[in-house]
Structure 1
Amino acid sequence: MITTIIVTVILGAIIGALARLVLPGKQNISTVVTVILGILGALIGSWVWTGLLNKSDTGGIDWIALIIGVIVAAALIVGYGAVTDKKQVR
């Protein structure tokens, strides 16, 4: 249980960082928010790929679920910025 939580936080940080890299400009959000949005992006991306599209038979890293997670996390970061009125700095 603890190992799963630690792995989820680490992957959330990675996915959140990748999402911020694909966005233009600099986002004015904290590292904690980036990790949380990365975790949410990873969970939603995995759910979309495995749950909705029924594609769970991969033997290793599921790259498509990872890419979907990054896209979802990027959308969440943009949405968070819009809701909190924190604009991207160019």
Structure 2
Amino acid sequence: MLGTIIGIIIVGLIAGFIARALVPGDDSMSIGATLLLGIVGSFIGGFLGYLIFHKDADEGFLQPSSWIGSIIGAIIALLIWRAVKGRRAVR
């Protein structure tokens, strides 16, 4: 159980950093916010992967598809965060 939690944290942190590097723009996020972005992205990517391919985490977390799904999910989460953040700034 502890290994799974540590794995999720590591994958989330790496996915968050990669998502922030791939999406252009200024994001003043702390390491904790980047970690949260990656973890949320992992859940989004895992959910989308399950909907599309009908496979889940029972086959393991350290697969290329899970990394790609985590990064794509983190990009989606980052774009949603920017849209919500931009909406608040306009008001």
The verdict on a shared fold, with TM-score over 0.5 as the criterion, is yes
Q: In the TM superposition, what are the counterparts of 1:1-90 in structure 2 within 5 Å?
A: 1-49=1-49, 51-52=50-51, 53-55=53-55, 61-85=62-86
More deviation, 52-61/68-77 = 52-61
Pair 1:41–1:3, CA change in 2 (3 A): same
Deviation at 1:55, TM superposition (A): 4.0
Alpha-carbon separation, structure 2, partners of 1:74 and 1:29: 14
Pair 1:55–1:24, CA change in 2 (3 A): same
Question: Percent identity of the aligned residues?
Answer: 34
Deviation at 1:8, TM superposition (A): 0.6
Deviation at 1:34, TM superposition (A): 1.1
| Greater helix share, structure number | 2
Q: Is the 8 A contact 1:12 1:35 kept in 2?
A: yes
Q: Is the 8 A contact 1:34 1:77 kept in 2?
A: no
Q: Structure 2 regions of 5+ residues with no counterpart?
A: none
Deviation at 1:35, TM superposition (A): 0.7
Q: Given the two structures, how large is their TM-score scaled by the length of structure 2? A: 0.73
Q: Structure 1 regions of 5+ residues with no counterpart?
A: none
Q: Is the 8 A contact 1:18 1:70 kept in 2?
A: yes
RMSD: 2.5
Q: Given the two structures, how large is their TM-score scaled by the length of structure 1? A: 0.74
Local SS of the residue matching 1:27:
coil
